[in-house]
């Protein structure tokens, strides 16, 4: 059974559109939720979310965590073709008992 579920798995939009990517998770002794962007190589870090309800922003990207519902969203406004990538989320456990499991990712394609 999947511990991390991302949706949608793929998404195609036009430049300028706003997108919302979803991540639900289940992990023992949750500490933080991580978002990464992956193009053709290693993932690059976007956000680490630890507290519920506090939005983190970086330019056109923002993310928020709901620890009660075990859910996080990643928003991208005014999308650009350079936003095309796979977006991955992973719950980071405290206690060191679990492996670090990623969702399958959302494959986002921004069309000009």
Partner 1 sequence: DGGITQSPKYLFRKEGQNVTLSCEQNLNHDAMYWYRQDPGQGLRLIYYSQIVNDFQKGDIAEGYSVSREKKESFPLTVTSAQKNPTAFYLCASTRTVSSGNTIYFGEGSWLTVV
Query: Of 13, 61, 73, 92, which lies in the binding site for partner 1, with binding defined by CB under 8 A?
Result: 92
Structure tokens at 61: 């990207």
Assess 73 for contact with partner 1 (CB under 8 A).
no
Among the listed ranges 20-28, 59-67, 70-78, 104-112, the one in contact with partner 1 (CB under 8 A) is 104-112
Query: Any idea of the CA torsion for 78, 36, 54, 61, to the nearest 10 degrees?
Result: -10
3-state DSSP of 21-41: EEEEECCCCEEEEEEEEECCC
Query: Smallest distance, Å, CB 28 to partner 1?
Result: 13
Assess 49 for contact with partner 1 (CB under 8 A).
no
Give the C-alpha separation, 96 to 48, whole Å: 17
Residues that bind partner 1 (CB under 8 A): 6, 31-32, 34, 36, 41-43, 45, 48, 50, 86, 88, 90, 92, 94-96, 99-105, 107
């Amino acid at each position: 059974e999947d511990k991390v579920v991302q949706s949608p798995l793929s998404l195609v939009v036009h430049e300028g559109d706003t997108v919302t990517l979803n991540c639900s998770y289940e992990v023992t002794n949750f500490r933080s939720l991580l978002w990464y962007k992956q193009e053709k190589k290693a993932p690059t870090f976007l956000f680490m979310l630890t507290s519920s309800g506090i939005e983190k922003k970086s330019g056109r990207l923002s993310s928020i965590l709901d620890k009660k519902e075990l859910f996080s969203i990643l928003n991208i406004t005014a999308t650009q073709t350079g936003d095309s990538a796979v977006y991955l989320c992973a719950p980071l456990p405290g206690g060191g008992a679990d492996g670090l499991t990623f969702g399958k990712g959302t494959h986002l394609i921004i069309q000009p």
